[in-house]
Homo-oligomer: A and B are copies of this chain.
């Protein structure tokens, strides 16, 4: 996975690279507007980290150029804190995410990871399996073109399943993922059972096959 770090603060760029390298990403740098524009237009990256404040020009122009070229590199905009207008404009032009300075490196890594996972589902952020369609961007689910309204937890479950399709996922992992309660010893999965039941019900009642198999004593498995 290749990442382009467009950032003129050298110290920041280096610490980002150190951190991301530990996560098995390969990093390249661009410190000026012209260099960034050249690299972004010439090569392909799985993710471009774009600082808007650059010597030599407005970083937003790089994003515009990428979109004009129909390049599909993931772009995360990085900017001074509180610049809500940049955020809105960047996302409108087609950036995939936005991060305000100062930020914590783990959060950056989490967003890159999330972005790349999203991209891996396909060009237009769609996951399809027969009559079932999930729009990762709009966060909507349809069965035979009819929309299925899921709650937040149900949607998170579904996404977790399809991003681990054909693999068994443990109840522990599911419960911790849902609750966010990473520290505690979870000895009760009732809430998990409830959400899974509701998710299954909504999908099958909408006309979808039951792709979610129970693996007795272990967890669940989404079959595609």
Interface residues of A in 38-91 (CB under 8 A from B): 82, 84, 87-88, 91
A138 in the interface (beta carbon within 8 A): no
Residue of B nearest to A106 (CB): B106
1/0 per residue, CB under 8 A from B, across A148-187: the answer is: 0000000000000000000000101000000010110100
A185 touching B91 in the complex, CB below 8 Å, given contacts A106-B110, A109-B106:
yes
Complex interface: chain B residues within 8 A of A84 (CB): 185
CA distance A42 to B15 in the complex (A): 32
A211 in the interface (beta carbon within 8 A): no
Tell me whether chain A's interface is mostly helix, strand or loop, or mixed.
helix
Is the pair A87, B185 in contact by a Cβ cutoff of 8 Å? Answer: yes
Residue of B nearest to A172 (CB): B82
A23 touching B107 in the complex, CB below 8 Å, given contacts A87-B185, A88-B185, A91-B185:
no
Is the pair A182, B15 in contact by a Cβ cutoff of 8 Å? Answer: no
CA distance A190 to B88 in the complex (A): 20
Number of chain A interface residues as a range: 20 to 34
CA distance A84 to B175 in the complex (A): 15
Question: How close is A113's CB to chain B, nearest CB, in angstroms?
Answer: 8
Is the pair B106, A183 in contact by a Cβ cutoff of 8 Å? Answer: no
A97 in the interface (beta carbon within 8 A): yes
A204 in the interface (beta carbon within 8 A): no
A183 touching B110 in the complex, CB below 8 Å, given contacts A19-B19, A22-B18, A105-B22:
no
Complex interface: chain B residues within 8 A of A98 (CB): 183, 185
CA distance A42 to B183 in the complex (A): 28
